Structure 1
Amino acid sequence: MTRNQARPHPSRRALLGGATLTALAAATGTGTANAATTTSAPATWPTEFPLPDGFLPEGIAIGRKPYAYMGSRANGAIFRTDLRTGRGRILFAGATGLVAVGMKLDHDGLLYVAGNTGVARTHDSRTGNVVATHQLSEATGHFINDVTLLGDRAWFTDSRAAALYAVPRGRSGAVRTLPLTGDWVQLPDVNNANGIVGAPDGHSLIVVKSTPGELYKVNTRTGHATRITLVGAPNVVNGDGLHRIGRTLYVVQNRLNVISVFHLDRTSTTATLTGSITDPRFDVPTTAARYANRLYLVNARFTTPQLPETTFTGVAVPI
């Protein structure tokens, strides 16, 4: 395990951009904040915490309580950290052949996990036990990458297929496959759909296409994808995790070590760049989750040898 070290601060540009956009999001009244996300995290809470050596993290989920759940690409393990102390433990040990990438925590304590190779799982967030395994695609070569919760479904992206998958939340039921149409053009041999989040209208989705770096608004009834016009940025290449507060959209661009901050227009078809968040502790951050006035991210360190002894951390930045 690594030890907590001195906490360098994000850039001034990052703080100003994030604070401005957070205020704007509150003013629109389109957020879904709860008691945990409307207060400030105490300054004594750590802004960096260790993960097990060789963990290979990518996904992170946070609910109403101050705990972060992070998944492993190595074996599907789940690690839970207390945000108040930075201390954590293995909640689910994982197993050979399992993967845990994108994650979301539901209000009923179910943790939805993207499982990479055509599957998704739900876990009990208290015990870590697997509650259900969902086969999203029977074909090989699929990459179930990220997940968001919208309405009565958990929606999963597939980086290697032009489709989203909808799993009923908290109950049994058939998985729905939603083919992507409209402006969506699937590119061969690269990661396409990656991060996903609900749009401000409450019934559409926003999906980032990592290559070549585009955002799309997706109709959950028809699958029609409308490319979102970017203003102030040519693209969001290496776009990974997405997080939205009101009309403020945070796009984690992993290998660029930056979070780009956009303001969505009323129809979520135009996104205007308003700032960026950078931090010297970023080392290929992938996905982000919010608690209080912070975004928490995991460093996947894709550009570092992924060895059993490789160290990994989670970090927090103010918004």
Structure 2
Amino acid sequence: MSVPHRLLAPALVTAALLVGTAAVPAAGTGRPLPGSYVVSRTPGTVPEGIDVRADGTMYVSSDATGALYRGRVTSPRMRPFPAEGATSRGSTRGVHTDRAGRVFSVGRGRLTVHAPDGRLLQAVDAPAGPFGAPDLNDLVITPDAVYVTDWANPVVLRAGLRHGRVGPLEPWADMRGAFPGFPDRYWLLNGIVADPAGHTLLVASNGTEAVWRIDTATREIGRLDLGETSFGADGMVLRGRTLYAVLNYGAPHGVYIARLDAELRTGTVVHRVTGDTFDLPTTLARRGCRLYVVNSQNDEPPGTPPYTVTALDDPMCGSDG
């Protein structure tokens, strides 16, 4: 979920759909949920990834330091999460949790798994790619594997999951053959999501300004057809047939939402949420009828504290999967 320090001028002119960011009542309490969350007031944090669990626990990663932060959707202030060894790699990008509450995260060349109390359970190093050292960007956890994107190499890596243990990270899908003639070094792989069964992956590529579909059984790669829309997404969320994505490159910054067909091959962008609500967003999470968007400030690194997450209403709330 990295973005260049200096972004190209927007290639699209789109109308923003203004979605409310006002506080809304917390479920079952009547108390309003915050409209924004302070990840950190420490200069140089540069937040990047996010995960929000069903119980309301929120994790945010730091691209600049490797630190992880934890909070609750009911409180506007997050605190450092004592993830053993996380800062030693110097950068943490993608962060996701599994059903047991374990915290999976990636950065530089390493995938780590932490217990909910911060203990380091596993650390798995990625091999070099065709263009050198790995620069891991995002991950998705499926029933039998963890798939990871590499920002520096046009390769998706895979680590098998067996009895809760993560196997070695190995090159699994080389993207280059899917787009002949495109410069190999500039795929810039970002967000990755999967259907619940783990049969289909969607992989974002800033460089190609597209999202790519991979069949995990055959490893067949094809471009997700969204018509003429430029869709160089950073972080993404897939819920049923709805794809939520953050765009910050080649289009006005914000959240873009597409409705996909049943096979996740084609779709239509149905909502765009752009404007001053965000400060170079990188990715998002969804819980209930709310979206949680990370403001990295990475267009002017390291940005200016406080570093925040913006919450907004999900315009697709109530629609079928």
Q: How does 1:185-204 map to 2 (within 5 A)?
A: 187-199=183-195, 202-204=198-200
* Corresponding letter in the other structure for 1:216: W
Residues 1:202 and 1:40: Cα distance change in structure 2 (over 3 Å): farther
Equivalent position of 1:281 in the other structure: 277
Residues 1:218 and 1:72: Cα distance change in structure 2 (over 3 Å): same
Q: Does 1:227 align with 2:228?
A: no
* Corresponding letter in the other structure for 1:178: W
Residues 1:84 and 1:242: Cα distance change in structure 2 (over 3 Å): same
**Cα distance in 1 between the residues matched to 2:87 and 2:63:** 11
Residues 1:65 and 1:317: Cα distance change in structure 2 (over 3 Å): same
**Cα distance in 2 between the residues matched to 1:207 and 1:172:** 21
* Corresponding letter in the other structure for 2:111: A
Residues 1:12 and 1:259: Cα distance change in structure 2 (over 3 Å): closer
Equivalent residues of 2:127, 2:170 under 8 A apart = no
Equivalent position of 1:92 in the other structure: 82
Equivalent position of 2:117 in the other structure: 127
* Corresponding letter in the other structure for 2:292: Y
Q: How does 1:1-319 map to 2 (within 5 A)?
A: 13-15=17-19, 44-52=32-40, 53=42, 54-92=44-82, 94-115=86-107, 117-124=108-115, 126-138=116-128, 140-169=132-161, 170-181=164-175, 182-184=177-179, 187-199=183-195, 202-231=198-227, 233-237=228-232, 239-255=233-249, 256-306=252-302, 310-319=305-314
**Cα distance in 2 between the residues matched to 1:40 and 1:188:** 51
Residues 1:167 and 1:276: Cα distance change in structure 2 (over 3 Å): same
Shift of residue 130 of structure 1?
Answer: 2.0
Structure 1, gaps ≥5 residues long? 1-10, 17-38
SS at match of 2:138: strand
Shift of residue 245 of structure 1?
Answer: 1.5
Equivalent residues of 1:180, 1:225 under 8 A apart = no
Equivalent residues of 2:127, 2:169 under 8 A apart = no
**Count of residue pairs the alignment pairs up:** 282
Structure 2, gaps ≥5 residues long? 1-14, 21-26, 315-321
Shift of residue 306 of structure 1?
Answer: 0.8
| CA RMSD, Structure 1 to Structure 2 (Å) | 2.5
**Cα distance in 2 between the residues matched to 1:163 and 1:91:** 30
* Corresponding letter in the other structure for 1:13: L
Query: Could you tell me the TM-score, scaled by structure 1's length?
Result: 0.80
Equivalent residues of 1:212, 1:235 under 8 A apart = no
Q: Which runs of 4+ in 1 moved over 4 A?
A: 39-43
**Cα distance in 2 between the residues matched to 1:172 and 1:198:** 18
Query: Could you tell me the TM-score, scaled by structure 2's length?
Result: 0.80
Equivalent residues of 1:119, 1:133 under 8 A apart = yes
Equivalent residues of 1:59, 1:102 under 8 A apart = yes
